[in-house]
Structure 1
Amino acid sequence: MYVYKDITIKRIAHDCFLVSNGKINLYFDPFKIEENLPKADYILITHEHFDHFSIDDIRKIIKESTVLFMNEMTEKALGDQLANKIVIINPGDSMDYDGIHIKGVPAYNVNKFRERGIVYHPKEDKKLGFIVLINNVKIYHVGDSDNIPEMKNLKDENIDILLIPVSGTYVMTPKEALDATLTINPKVAIPMHYGAIVGSEADAQDFVEAVKKKGLDAVLI
């Protein structure tokens, strides 16, 4: 667990995080949810792949008032389940709930290919990253993405916490994640997308050490 100002951030597995200000519990990409975790007020889902969008894990943390944010492709994968709890969000959209500002940003591949000419996460699918402002702390969950041109515009966002993939499989390598981190210039970078399906803790540690050598802060949680 990592504490930044009055926000706690717990990495659960892979790209799944619990962010809390003590009153509101927000989850990114529920996956491998542990027992006895608090119920979710908000669930933000980056895309429809099973390791980011797990119905069984969502059901472990959902309650009557939970709101789920997802794109249309993920909604189609969900079908009629939980339809009354869904808010559609696409890259470029932003909205406010309970004093929390949620913004969708692009997440896609430029050089991770399923087969020749076909990337794992195409831009046209409108898969998501999220920028969340909670208690004046700005958190950027990159989602499954490469170091994309849109990240150059995020330096002016003054990101406090960057949650960034580092495994190199389907997403950025540690070196590519370092380059993206230097572009975004967060207060703290936290690696993700390792240790559950692809990527190792060594990948995450390499990233943390490389970021620190460049004079920025990074932590492994």
Structure 2
Amino acid sequence: MNVQEVIPKIHWLGHDSFRIEGSKVVYFDPYEIAGAAAPADIICISHEHFDHCSPPDVDKIRKADTVIVTDGASAKKLSGDVRVVRPGDRLNVNGVEIQVLPAYNTHKKFHPKEAGMLAFVVTLDGVRYYHAGDTDFIPEMEGLGVDVAFLPVSGKYVMDADEAVQAARAIRPKVAVPMHYGAIVGSREDAERFRKALEGEVEVVILEKE
């Protein structure tokens, strides 16, 4: 993977929301989408909380043939071509491979494992992107073999920067991108702490919000 070629395709929209532009346009957890946005081919939604499953934001980017991949709780809030999945599922959406993984807290009550909340590994144009969802550092992260990992760093509801460092060391992505800060909880300082701790181990790219 050529990092210089891949990073410009990744757009951080704030919080846990990303858009990846390639042969398909893929969104993760669209929330507080500002202005005109590229229409989505695929939307992956990790769980039903308002800052991840936002029907008004989905409507801003959805086309007639947009496919939404999400859990059962979120699906109840959405319409259109919604594919309900669970951790462990794999599917192919118009040539894009999606592996569904769990996301959960290990020592907090906000995202219990039994709720079936989601993380995703999306393979687009040969690049494997891991969106961890709202999670702590969990065993399922070990040996994922992804190219790009989007990892929460803010603490409180999700893992903090120190736990995210452990996660990055377990995943060993080519690039790690911090998320879940700058809205609701967390700040850029969390992202910077994450980057500094991984210097010389994992390349960390802090994206500017679009």
Corresponding residue number in structure 2 for 1:161: 148
Q: Give the aligned partner of residue 203 of structure 2.
A: 217
Does 1:37 find its partner at 2:37?
A: yes
**Structure 1 position 32, deviation (Å):** 1.1
Q: How many residues align?
A: 205
Report how far residue 4 of structure 1 moved: 3.9
Deviations 1:153-204 (A, max 9, x none): xx1x321000000000210010000001000100000000000110001001
The residue correspondences of 1:52-201 to structure 2 (distance < 5 A) are: 52-76=52-76, 78=77, 81-82=78-79, 84-112=80-108, 119-152=109-142, 155=143, 157-201=144-188
Tell me how far 1:6 sits from its aligned partner.
8.4
**SS of the counterpart of 2:53?**
coil
Structure 1 runs of 4+ aligned residues shifted over 2 Å read: 2-7
Q: Is the 8 Å Cα contact of residues 208 and 218 (structure 1) preserved in structure 2?
A: yes
Residue 146 of structure 1 aligns with an amino acid whose one-letter code is: D
Contact 1:7 1:137 in 2 (8 A): no
Q: CA 1:135–1:6 in 2, change beyond 3 Å: closer, same or farther? A: farther
Q: Distance in 1 between matches of 2:58 and 2:94?
A: 21
Would you say 1:46 and 2:32 are equivalent positions? no
State yes or no: 1:13 paired with 2:14.
yes
The 1:102–1:60 alpha-carbon spacing in structure 2 relative to 1, beyond 3 Å, is same
Deviation at 1:124, TM superposition (A): 0.6
Q: Distance in 1 between matches of 2:7 and 2:97?
A: 17
Flag structure 2 segments of 5+ consecutive residues without an equivalent: none
User: What is the RMSD computed on CA atoms of the aligned residues?
Assistant: 1.5
Q: AA paired with 1:95?
A: L
- TM-score, normalized by length of structure 2? 0.93
Q: Which amino acid aligns with 2:193?
A: D
Contact preservation (8 Å) 1:3, 1:9: no
Distance 1:96 1:129 in 2: 16
1:86-137 deviations in Å (ceiling 9; x for gaps): 001110000012221001101000112xxxxxx1101011100000011110
- One-letter code of the match for 1:167? S
Question: Alpha-carbon deviation of 1:3?
Answer: 5.2
> Percent identity among equivalent residues?
41
Deviation of residue 44 (structure 1)? 0.3
Q: Give unmatched runs, 5+ long, in structure 1.
A: 113-118
Matched residue of 2:149: which SS? strand
Q: State the alpha-carbon separation in 2 of the partners of residues 8 and 107 from structure 1.
A: 25
Tell me the amino acid that sits aligned with residue 219 of structure 1: V
Q: TM-score, structure 1 length as denominator?
A: 0.89
Q: Offset of 1:7 from its aligned partner?
A: 6.8
Deviations 1:18-60 (A, max 9, x none): 0111x31110000010212101111000000000011111111
Question: CA 1:184 to 1:44, structure 2 compared with 1: closer, same or farther past 3 Å?
Answer: same
SS at match of 1:168: coil
- Evaluate the alpha carbon distance shift between residue 106 and residue 90 of structure 1 in structure 2; reply closer, same or farther with a 3 A threshold: same
Greater relative contact order (Cα 8 A, min sep 6): structure 1 or 2? 2
2: distance between equivalents of 1:190 and 1:39? 23
